[in-house]
Amino acid sequence: MAIRIIRKSGDPVLRGISREVKEITPQLLALLDDMVETMNDAEGVGLAAPQVGISKRLIVVDARDEHGLLKLVNPVIVNRQGRDIVVEGCLSFPSLVGEVERDSQVTVKALGTDGKQLEICACGLLSQALQHEIDHLDGILFVDHAIRFIEEKKDEKKDGQD
């Protein structure tokens, strides 16, 4: 496993549409492991492959809840309910925090690392993180959703949260 460089605001890979994954390979599993290590090192909640320069439909999320660490291939939101205003940051925008409107609850279908279809019904932080990371796969960034920016982070020991 390796910690990868997180792409920052202005990097064109962040605005691209990610390609669907056709096959789960050992290299793909290694990339997902690297993404987890990178997310944890940056003290984030989630990370999408474009944030490490890879235009593939892959995300990792750990909301530290009963779902545990999720490594998702080709995730898609299939159901949305309710709306909330939430506070959000992003590892690709380490100095920004903003208020964003997100769905209160989402259902996501994806492939697991074993290649089997799975479905996750999420609310709270997990719902927010899934929406945020899936947006990255379509070149949509949290700043595009921001209602207002709350503050700029001043103490930059780590890259922030995603």
At 1 the three-state DSSP class reads coil
From 99, 133, 152, 156, active-site residue = 133
Q: Rounded distance, CA 15 to CA 11, Å? A: 8
At 18 the three-state DSSP class reads coil
**φ and ψ at 144, to 5 degrees?**
-70, -25
| DSSP string covering 73-124 | EEEEEEEEEEEEEEEEEETTEEEEEEEEEEEEEEEEEEE-TTS-EEEEEEEH
Q: Rounded distance, CA 100 to CA 161, Å? A: 14
Q: Identify which of 113, 138, 109 has the alpha carbon closest to the alpha carbon of residue 30.
A: 113
20 is catalytic: no
**φ and ψ at 137, to 5 degrees?**
-70, -20
Positions marked catalytic: 133
